[in-house]
Amino acid sequence: MRGIADALNRWLRRVPVWPWYVIGFAPAALWLRAGLLNALGPDPARALEQNLGLTALQLLIAALAVTPLRELTGVSFLRFRRMIGLMAFYYLLLHLAAWVVFDRGMDLAAALTDIVKRPYIVVGMTALVLLLPVALTSTDRAIRSLGGARWRALHRLVYPATALGAVHFVWLVKAWPPEPLVYAGIVAALLLYRLLPRRGRVRTLARPA
């Protein structure tokens, strides 16, 4: 297992990060095109919103999974975690924009009324607000300016933001189908993993990347 993980880590170190910012927006562009062509079903606005929001949650989960994956298997995606987290934030912004533009028809007063009246929207907006300082400080300059300890403490806002994102998804669906509950379970497992004392975690099977 160690040899496989080491070989994969060597390959990952040669993979550039920046193209994934471009590739990451491809699904959003395809969904927008499909929506404009009326190819997203009977309610294209809602389908676009849900696809963007679900992708944001999936990316947040992927970012949270980087550390457990490295500790449990030795495979390190640390070089890509910042990109994954930023893409999650960008998809959240697109999710919000799609709701305001297509669902609320650019009526900001109606959007604000909905935010106040609908608890699941409040939960989603809270997650977005928590991620805002994380996104704004996701630079090497911010790390130097804040210092490693303060920067890490600030970026722990990702944990409650992801939990709120999962709650928002479960609350939004309302009918209790299995999919949002599965996502909520994965988020809970990843957060509980971080509560384990480091001695209780499985040691890394490969040398750190």
- Owning domain of residue 53: 2-200
Read off the pLDDT of residues 1-25 as tens digits, 9 standing for 90 and up.
678 898 999 999 999 999 999 999 9
148, part of any domain: yes
Q: Is the pLDDT of residue 199 over 70?
A: no
The arithmetic mean of pLDDT across residues 38-63, rounded, is 93
Read off the pLDDT of residues 159-181 as tens digits, 9 standing for 90 and up.
999 999 999 999 887 667 789 99
Mean pLDDT of the chain: 90
63, part of any domain: yes
Contact 204, 6 (CB under 8 A): no
Residue 206 has a pLDDT of 43
Residue 208 has a pLDDT of 44
Q: Which residue pairs, CB below 8 angstroms and at least 24 apart, start in 103-111?
A: 103/45, 103/46, 103/49
46, part of any domain: yes
106, part of any domain: yes
Residue 61 has a pLDDT of 98
Give, rounded to a whole angstrom, the gap between the first and last alpha carbons of the chain.
Answer: 15
140, part of any domain: yes
Domains contained in the chain, number: 1
- Where does the pLDDT of residue 38 fall: very low under 50, low under 70, confident under 90, or very high at 90 and above? confident
CB hemisphere CA count around 103 (13 angstroms): 18
Residue 103 has a pLDDT of 84
